[in-house]
Amino acid sequence: MKHLLLIALFLWSMRSFSQVGQIDLAKLKLCELTVDDLKGQDPDLKRVSLLEMGQCAEDIVLDGLFECGYGYESKWYPGVVFQISKGPDPIIYKIHLTRNFKGYLPDGNYLDLSHLKVSDVLRQYDVVIAWTSRDCSDYWTITNKDKGNFYVKIDKNKHPRFPVDQAFYAEQLVQGVDLIIDCASYVDKRPNQPLYLIDGKESIWAVIKKLKSDDIESVKVLKDQGATEKYGERGKYGVVEIILKKK
């Protein structure tokens, strides 16, 4: 009886341990989350270099929307690298998941990248938009609309490279996942919100409210017909144009 009790306690403790730190990306306010928010939760947040799997390993093609090739890691989110948008108070624009990630994606699907195969992805998501790769990249990018980019290592011993041997690669392990945060859709879901622009680029209130007055050169508010004439349907609830001081 004592042995059975010890076994039961062991199994219960393992079950409890497996639930500690369960990552659920859907619970993060991704279109409001900033690096400062992450640092507030984890003072030991680390800035790390990152291989952009969908781009060239030796010559990264810089993306104008986010800080390419770098991200932030937190002990609270193992297997997650947060990448920031470019701006005065950058929000999390892109999330890269490594093989250490176990948890839920923003769409609610559970992934364990430690042993996830491409075939698992194909079963989980019915529609694959494309298999793509830059000539200098070491990875195939498996793109699914609105779900992210899944990467599999290219076997350079397979010739020819095209067409893609999908049957072969379906049995290979996924090496990483990129999730692009669709903040435009997030903003559209909030009723009666004005369009915010910083130096001509669309932004959100979470970023605007953290701007310091000393950083602002000018603010222009457009309403009614003036807003829709310049920005169309996007300006139907008004437009706030903010110009920052040049540093």
What would the pLDDT profile of 39-55 be if each residue is shown by its tens digit? Answer: 999 999 999 999 999 88
Shortest CA distance to 142 belongs to which of 169, 162, 161?
A: 169
Q: Which of 183, 198, 185, 200 is nearest to 92 (CA)?
A: 183
pLDDT at 58: 60
Neighbours of 123 (CB within 10 A): 10
What pLDDT, on the 0 to 100 scale, is given for residue 56?
Answer: 73
Residue 160: asked if its preceding bond is cis (omega within 30°), the reply is yes
What is residue 61's predicted lDDT score, i.e. its pLDDT?
57
pLDDT at 133: 87
- Say how far residue 14 (Cα) sits from the centre of its chain: 30
pLDDT of residue 12: 36
Sign of the torsion angle spanned by Cα atoms 113, 114, 116, 117: positive
pLDDT in tens, 16-28: 333 445 899 988 8
In a structure prediction context, what are the per-residue pLDDT tens digits for the chain, which is 247 residues long? 444 433 343 333 333 333 445 899 988 887 788 888 899 999 999 999 999 998 876 655 555 678 889 999 999 999 999 999 876 667 888 999 999 999 999 888 899 999 999 999 988 877 677 888 877 889 999 987 667 899 999 999 998 888 899 999 999 999 999 998 766 555 545 567 788 899 888 887 777 877 888 889 999 999 998 899 998 888 888 999 999 998 7
Q: What long-range pairs does 106-110 form, CB within 8 A, spacing at least 24? A: 106/25, 106/26, 106/30, 106/179, 107/26, 107/146, 107/147, 108/26
